Amino acid sequence: METICPRCKKAFKAKMITPYQFLFCTKTDPLIVQYISENYDNSICSECTKAIEDSFYTFSVNPAILSKLKGKTAK
């Protein structure tokens, strides 16, 4: 079944149904899987997954995750 990647808008064949299955079928960092599942409603293509993996820790901590962590400690 083809689906449209919500990140790049390209059509691809989705292999995984849930982020949980994706985590155990790949070597993707659990924080990256969490980031993807929180920011995209559907599966994203392998190229977008690779791009996120390559840039996720560019600044030591992803800014989106850092802001969520700061927001939780401030409450």
- Structural domains counted in the chain: 1
Average pLDDT over residues 64-74: 64
pTM of the model: 0.65
Please, what is the average pLDDT of the chain? 76
pLDDT band (50, 70, 90) for residue 7: very high
11-13/2-4 β-pairing: antiparallel
Give the per-residue pLDDT at 8.
94
The residues, any chain, with a CB within 8 Å of residue 56's CB and separated by 6 or more, are 29, 31, 32, 35, 62
Query: How many whole angstroms separate alpha carbon 61 and alpha carbon 3?
Result: 30
Q: Domain of residue 48: give its range.
A: 2-74
Query: How many whole angstroms separate alpha carbon 7 and alpha carbon 10?
Result: 8
Among candidate residues 62, 64, 47, the one with its CA nearest the CA of residue 8: 47
